[in-house]
Amino acid sequence: MRVALYHPWVYLKSGLERTLLEIHRRSRHQVTIYTSHYDRDGTYPELAETGVVELPRVSVRRSYGQVLAAAAQIARTRIDPASFDALVISCEGLGDLLTLRNHDKPVLSLCFTPLRAVFDDAYRTRLLDRVGPVGRPLALGLEAGFRAIDRACWRHYSAAVAISDTIRQRIDAGGLWPADRVQVFYPGIDAGRIAAGSGSDPYFLISGRVMWTKNIGLGLEAFALAKKNLPGWRLVVAGMVDEKSRAYADDLMARGREIGDVEFRIGNTDAEMRALYDRCSALLFTPFNEDWGLTPLEAMAAAKPVIAVDRGGPRESVADGVTGFLAPDDPAAFAARMVQLAQDPALAKRLGEAGLERARLFTWDAFVSGLDDAIETMVEERRELVAV
């Protein structure tokens, strides 16, 4: 079966781009990736080998004007329906707009999240605080308009898949699609990489994109509180910084220098990231309301415990007190758990070993197989409907 897989922007080395790559690699169907913004130098180099199809380009900037321009362009973009048998729209916000001109064939929503600025209450609250009282009326007006348009777009879907139960509930709460009709398949890890690390060095790891939604300041302030009880310990922040987040990253690095024993490693290879997971003592997962999160799985696959914010996706991956700890979004709470793990190596080892076993529940093969099944069922149901 020919499957067109669309995502608005493919330009980072994030879990989302990794998911697109793994779908292309592992699907039993012929998958072609389409996007409205492709940066082959900024994302995984392997994606260039998949034959990514570039559609009319949109900006990745998040100002209101540029978002509206991107939305308008996506809404009027059309993919030749003769080139595919099923369309999968991978969306974290604006991708739904592609359905307006592309619903001749069955369309499946692979939902990473509905637009967070509208449908994620935790994100929405922080965003409204950021725009302040002057920008609030405009933000609320645009929000109301987008809600109406997005609900109309969702009527063009024939099936829906969410990457976590957190997202399934967000879809339902937003009035986009009934929860009992949304299937959940978890993006995961390569089963072949599930193996205990080669040791444990005295450092905590924060891994992933360096941007404001990742709440990395929580980890810095927690380490500042914990380090007086942890002589010789370090905090390593490893990931990538895109141009939009450069100022944020610079502020974090300045704070890290004030705290001391904080190391930023930007632009690592996959091998370098694996080495960091293998040698760390524990992972700190700090996003304030993550949709799912691959980095806790990577840590558990290396038999390392995870301390994560007790909200969103980590509630589904991290078993509190078994594979790590779920903690409030509070530096003191994180610091207490960090000290506990550092001073009790037997506990850290026990949690890590349990995480290693739990990681086996979340593999790429299981995710892609489930998605393939959902696509096939959708297409077959459409054929039966047409036949009637």
Ordered domains of the chain (ranges, CATH) = 2-188+364-387 (3.40.50.2000), 191-359 (3.40.50.2000)
Q: Say what the pLDDT of residue 239 is.
A: 92
Percentage, residues of the chain above pLDDT 70: 100
| Average pLDDT of span 138-152 | 94
With cut-offs at 50, 70 and 90, classify the pLDDT of residue 176. very high
CB atoms inside a 10 Å sphere around CB 146: 22
Q: Say what the pLDDT of residue 44 is.
A: 93
Angstrom distance (rounded) from CA 39 to CA 285: 27
pLDDT at 101 over 70: yes
Angstrom distance (rounded) from CA 97 to CA 84: 18
Residues 6+ apart with CB under 8 A from 279: 197, 198, 199, 200, 201, 203
Does the reported pTM lie above 0.85?
yes
| Average pLDDT of span 116-140 | 90
262-299: b (≥16 Cβ within 10 Å) or e: bebeeebeeeebbebbbbbbbbbbbbbbbbbbbbbbbb
Phi, psi of 384 (to 5 degrees): -65, -40
Q: Check if the beta carbon of residue 162 is closer than 8 Å to that of residue 178.
A: no
With cut-offs at 50, 70 and 90, classify the pLDDT of residue 62. confident
| Kind and range of the H or E run holding 380 | helix 364-387
pLDDT at 386 over 80: no
**121-135, 184-198, 250-264: range with highest mean pLDDT:** 250-264
pLDDT at 368 over 90: yes
| Average pLDDT of span 285-296 | 97
Q: Say what the pLDDT of residue 388 is.
A: 61
**43-52, 57-66, 378-387: range with highest mean pLDDT:** 43-52
Q: Say what the pLDDT of residue 135 is.
A: 87
What is the torsion angle, in degrees rounded to the nearest 10, for the CA atoms of residue 224, residue 294, residue 355 and residue 222? 10
Tens-digit pLDDT profile for residues 253-273: 999 999 999 999 998 988 999
pLDDT at 212 over 70: yes
Percentage, residues of the chain above pLDDT 90: 90
Considering the chain, what is the average pLDDT of its residues?
96
pLDDT at 387 over 80: no
